[in-house]
Structure 1
């Protein structure tokens, strides 16, 4: 039979070993510790375009599929801006469109500045 003191010593040694090796697991990337830092928050997305390519391949569009929003439209210049709440859309010559940040300007100011730049006046 085991003695209570022996059981206590065994439990103490087991706890110390777990603490020691748990530390090394975290330090060297075991258990997803990541070099000693545990990050339970959001992670950066990997620099791999597989998700995007997979999404595009699953889309059905018999017209034009906008590359930045994956919207299906009749013509490329009909593509919406990815962030319409903070971007102004301008349709340029030859069916192109441009999305530009409003940058705190009043409504229509971004389009006016782009037009002035196109004319070489800005």
Structure 2
């Protein structure tokens, strides 16, 4: 009666509370280089991985060839990288 034109509306469902969806996506990706664990991007090196949410995260490359994504902080560009470097030197 309320279903016009034979179309059914589907309601969104909550994501599973386990890692099954992620595992399924991970196993389906083909990558012959480095597969970024947080974005499933295929890159040449781990420090080339993008951040999952670049609009609110800064990417900081570390000396060991890895990288981290941290919440943007402060009012100046590079503030997150500066704080990580201070923490690495035990000055923060």
**TM-score scaled by length of structure 2:** 0.79
Deviation at 1:68, TM superposition (A): 0.4
Gaps of 5+ in 2: 1-10
Counterpart mapping for 1:50-61 below 5 A: 50-61=20-31
Q: State the Cα RMSD in Å.
A: 1.8
**TM-score scaled by length of structure 1:** 0.61
Q: What corresponds to 1:110 in structure 2?
A: 80
Which structure has more RCO (C-alpha within 8 Å, separation ≥ 6)? 2
Larger Rg belongs to:
1
Ranges of 4+ aligned residues in structure 1 off by more than 6 Å: none
Determine whether 1:90 maps to 2:81.
no
How many residues were matched structurally? 83
Normalized per residue, which structure has more helix? 1
